[in-house]
């Protein structure tokens, strides 16, 4: 379970205040809202990529509650590598490395390894087995999106956070990959939180929440 308690995030010209909320284990959540509303900020707070101005975030793992807002950066990095999978809008890929390298780098950081056959099987699931030795910088936006999804296939994460995971894809491919993300979630039995502006994705999730309803001051 993930709990957000009295969270605020102050920027130079704006402030985001989020209601006390919690996300249950093994459930899938779609957070809907327009671009620029603060959805990505909330996701980054949950994942420890940014810290709140006030409040705290708690994650329960193996019956142990961790208050991530109290962790040092080294501890946060370890938690992210071992526990939290990301599919972010800007992909966070290594452009000058191959598709295969991008999967292996993340696993190496977590002290894990996959065989060539396992990597090929993962890439086959996202339709990129023929691009295994291609440099990421030569891929299309949709192909880069699929590399980002392949990386989370390579490891069973307790938490999976996705920021507009189908944003650069056509409708058919978007539906195919959303089904794949849901299958990853069900297989890993993790907590899945996806933020999006695409309401057609609602059918895939256990719970659908309007982001504006998570903000302080909303009814």
pTM of the model: 0.88
Check if the beta carbon of residue 123 is closer than 8 Å to that of residue 99. Answer: yes
Q: What domain range is 84 assigned to? A: 2-214
Has residue 186 got a pLDDT over 70? yes
Mean pLDDT of 175-196: 90
Mean pLDDT value across the chain: 89
Three-state secondary structure readout of the chain: CEEEEEEEEECCCCEEEECCEEECCCCEEEEECCCCCCHHHHHHHHCCCCCCCEEEEEEEECCEEEEHHHCCHHHHHHHHHHHEEEECCCCCCCCCCEHHHHHHHHHHHCCCCCCHHHHHHHHHHCCCHHHCCCEHHHCCHHHHHHHHHHHHHCCCCCEEEEECCCCCCCHHHHHHHHHHHHHHHHHHCCEEEEEECCHHHHHHCCEEEEHHHHECCCC
Quick check: is 219 in a domain?
Answer: no
Q: How many folded domains does the chain comprise? A: 1
Q: pLDDT tens digit string along 84-138? A: 988 887 778 999 999 999 988 878 877 778 888 889 998 998 889 999 999 999 9
- Whether 104 is covered by a domain: the verdict is yes
**Structure token pair of residue 169:** 């894809």
Give mean pLDDT, residues 33-43. 87
Asked whether residue 20 is assigned to any structural domain, the reply reads yes
Q: Does 61 reside within a domain?
A: yes
Predicted confidence (pLDDT) at residue 219 exceeds the cutoff of 70: no
> pLDDT tens-digit profile of 44-81?
999 998 999 999 999 998 888 999 999 999 999 888 88
Indicate which CATH number applies to the domain containing 117: 3.40.50.300
């Amino acid at each position: 379970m993930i709990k957000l308690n009295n969270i605020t995030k102050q920027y130079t010209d704006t402030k985001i205040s989020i209601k006390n909320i919690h996300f249950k284990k093994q459930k899938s959540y779609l957070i809907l809202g327009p671009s620029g509303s603060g959805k990505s900020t909330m996701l980054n707070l949950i994942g420890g990529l940014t810290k709140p101005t006030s409040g705290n975030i708690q994650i329960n793992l193996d019956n142990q509650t961790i208050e991530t807002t109290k962790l040092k950066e080294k501890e946060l990095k370890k938690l992210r590598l071992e526990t939290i999978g990301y599919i972010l809008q800007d992909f966070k890929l290594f452009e000058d490395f191959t598709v295969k390298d991008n999967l292996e780098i993340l696993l190496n950081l977590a002290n894990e390894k996959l065989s060539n056959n396992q990597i090929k099987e993962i890439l086959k699931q996202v339709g990129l087995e023929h691009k295994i030795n291609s440099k990421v910088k030569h891929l299309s936006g949709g192909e880069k999106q699929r590399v980002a999804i392949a990386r989370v296939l390579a490891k069973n994460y307790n938490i999976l956070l996705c920021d507009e995971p189908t944003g650069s894809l056509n409708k058919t491919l978007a539906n195919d990959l959303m089904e794949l993300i849901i299958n990853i979630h069900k297989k890993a039995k993790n907590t899945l939180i996806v933020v999006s502006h695409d309401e057609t994705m609602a059918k895939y999730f256990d719970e659908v929440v309007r982001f504006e309803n998570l903000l302080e001051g909303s009814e």
